A and B are shown apart, each in its own frame.
Chain A
Amino acid sequence: MKERFHYPLPRDEVKSIRQAIQKIRFAKEEYLYVFKGGKQILRFIGDESQVNIPEQYLFQLPDTVVVHNHPNNVSFSFEDIDMALFHNISKLIVSTPDFIYEVHRSGKSWDINFEKTETLNFFYACQSIARAELEKLIAQNQMTPKELELKLFHYIWLFFFNKFSIQYVQKKHPK
């Protein structure tokens, strides 16, 4: 477990998930909102690359919608998805400057477990194939190695969640 905790901030004026997505879109540090029944129940500030939740707040995560931001335009990290699966978060949203990434549990539980070797092996297979396919674009001079790294996780999750028929989307911010 991470030992450098980020303690919660008081709830703020944000009244909807949509407002939260817009409020933290361009933030340089990571902010995280937890919504339950459409209402903001918790709010944290992390640092530029993570938000660590103290143990005494983890029990509140099941069946919530969690929104946090990535200061770059990159999709979920492995650890983001691990948090969603382990704590049975119903919907995980990342707000980035240009895109919103969402993954939505389809039933009452995810039924995916990274502790199972075959699930982890399938994740690694998605990672390997996503990288290989993007490298073909580098070979054709259609993308750079840096762009590959920045797009890689989007394709990993696109392929990974497709197997489980779970909705994963990348979308632009509404105008």
Chain B
Amino acid sequence: MSKKNIPNSFDDSKLPKGRISVERSLEIDRLMESRLDEIKNKLKQTAIKIENESNAK
């Protein structure tokens, strides 16, 4: 059995480089806002499906 690696790094090297302005960031949040509840509900169904598939194995 292999020894589990203990995470030891706050490694952000895979995050994108660059910077978004605060105005654009908030504008995108406003555009997304009306869809958030629908997306969260969709993900609740996805989570149930994932758990059911896992339990079936």
What is the CA–CA distance of A59 and B36 in the complex, to the nearest angstrom? 38
On whether A137 and B28 interact (CB within 8 A), knowing A80-B10, A151-B20, A159-B39, the answer reads yes
In-complex Cβ contact of A86 among B7, B18, B44, B53 (8 A): B7
By a CB distance below 8 angstroms, the chain B residues around A38 are none
Encode A97-112 as 1/0 by CB contact (under 8 A) with B.
Answer: 1110000000000000
Interface string of B2-33 (1 = CB under 8 A from A): 00111111111111111111101100110110
A104 to chain B, nearest CB (A): 17
The 10 closest A-B pairs by CB, nearest first: A149-B16, A79-B11, A98-B22, A49-B13, A2-B9, A150-B20, A50-B11, A118-B54, A52-B9, A77-B12
Given contacts A30-B12, A68-B10, are A73 and B20 in contact (CB under 8 A)? yes
User: Which residues of B does A touch, CB under 8 Å?
Assistant: 4-22, 24-25, 28-29, 31-32, 35-36, 39-40, 42-44, 46-47, 50-51, 53-54
Nearest residue (CB) in A for B20 is A150
A163 and B28 in contact (CB under 8 A), knowing A50-B13, A52-B8?
no
Asked if A9 is an interface residue, CB under 8 A from chain B, the answer is: no
Contact A30 B10 (CB under 8 A): yes
Most buried by A among B6, B25, B31, B54: B25
Write the chain B residue with the least CB distance to A80.
B10
Q: Are A55's CB and B15's CB within 8 A?
A: no
State the CA gap A157–B22 with chains docked (Å): 19
Chain B residue nearest in CB terms to A163: B47
New contact pairs (7) apart from A49-B13, A82-B7, CB-CB < 8 Å: A46-B10, A52-B10, A142-B31, A147-B20, A151-B28, A159-B43, A162-B43
